Amino acid sequence: MSTAGQVIRCRAAVAWESGKPLSIEEVEVAPPQKDEVRIKILFTSLCHTDVYFWDAKGQNPLFPRILGHEAGGIVESVGEGVTDLKPGDHVLPIFTGECKECPHCLSEESNICDLLRINTDRGEMINDGKSRFSINGKPIYHFLGTSTFSEYTVVHVGQVAKINPEAPLDKVCVLSCGMSTGFGATVNVAKPKKGQSVAIFGLGAVGLAAAEGARVSGASRIIGVDLNPSRFDQAKKFGVTEFVNPKDYNKPVREVIVEMTGGGVDRSVECTGSIQAMISAFECVHDGWGVAVLVGVPNKDDAFKTHPVNLLNEKTVKGAFFGNYKPRSDIPAVVEKYMNKELELDKFITHTVPFSEINKAFELMLAGEGLRCVIRMDE
């Protein structure tokens, strides 16, 4: 029996307040409106950004809310005006979008869509400013336009990448945020040449995806920087060749790396969100040609400070958003890289839990255990 055009009742993990365990509730999911798609989520994974906004310490709190933005699923129904997706399509919902019409979408250089760029404060759909989720008539806020911690969710069509139906959703779901963010920051933005040196600040999932990008690019030295030495063994699987724990030195980490490399690394990628790490990542690159790429999300009051002479010495600092990938145009091809064994994803997935145990995924991340925990929605 078709559910198109009807309200669907299903399970969702609702964050009622900051820092409190999510609660599995029955929610009502309204049909998709103009330019929207309703998706049955099969697998979702926990990203640090979910924890960040659940904890809500450095951001504006917005509750009750359904978090989640790294996922894979199948289109259940489409709203008016949606022509390039149909029920049954395999898709990745993505926290940023591509309207295909604005100056950013028409530019080959940018992936920051004017209409659908990330907005962490928005809890409603852009079409009518209303939520598609409710419990007993009370609206529940959306998160990043995706809200994948629900068995069904409604997403703007511009935030949905249609992918190869043969691709295993329990693996490629991680490409909808973290892996693409890190891998793309290296291959699309830092662009290390074969034989160059790369420093990766932060060896969580995004940092290791950046390291994977450096490995695939043929970097000769990949230096991992992290305050947690237990991450070093795992990082070797991703091509990291050397490790620096800033706590082991009584001088700034930028000086350590400059000395190790005889002048600085050729490229660095910062994946922590720590403003100090961002500054160090920039100041440790080689003058004349060094490029630092900032990926981590800082606190809202942070300020990046460095001496202008670093720029005059021809060091470059860049930001990267979602690995410079356009969600609809580029992500299907990244999925194909996995299918063609040019990109490894399985090693990023260290845990799986049933949906009923979603809070276990939060516990693992807060304890710094593993990389990605995939949540099976049908259990």
**Chain-centre distance of CA 115, in angstroms?**
19
| 113 in catalytic set | yes
Name residues whose C-beta falls within 8 Å of residue 286's C-beta, 6 or more positions apart in sequence. 261, 263, 264, 265, 266, 315
Catalytic residue among 25, 36, 44, 49: 49
| 102 in catalytic set | yes
Q: Report the relative pairing of strands 221-225 and 197-201 from DSSP bridges.
A: parallel
| 156 in catalytic set | no
Catalytic residue among 44, 65, 113, 270: 113
DSSP-derived 3-state class of residue 311: helix
| 142 in catalytic set | no
- Dist. CA 186–CA 213, nearest whole Å: 5
| 373 in catalytic set | no
| 47 in catalytic set | yes
Catalytic residue among 105, 173, 271, 284: 105
| 48 in catalytic set | yes
Catalytic residue among 36, 70, 151, 283: 70
Catalytic residue among 25, 36, 38, 48: 48
Catalytic residue among 270, 283, 372, 373: 372
Backbone Cα Rg of the chain: 21
Quickly tell me which residue has 């070797």 as its tokens: 236
Catalytic residue among 36, 38, 76, 102: 102
Catalytic residue among 25, 36, 90, 99: 99
| 284 in catalytic set | no
| 177 in catalytic set | yes
| 173 in catalytic set | no
Catalytic residue among 11, 28, 117, 316: 117
| 70 in catalytic set | yes
Catalytic residue among 104, 153, 173, 177: 177
Reported as type and span, the H/E element at residue 360 is helix 358-366
Catalytic residue among 38, 65, 69, 132: 69
Q: How many residues belong to the chain?
A: 379
Distances 162 to 18, 171, 264 between C-alpha atoms, Å: 33, 15, 41
Q: So which residues are the catalytic ones? A: 47-49, 69-70, 99, 102, 105, 113, 117, 177, 372
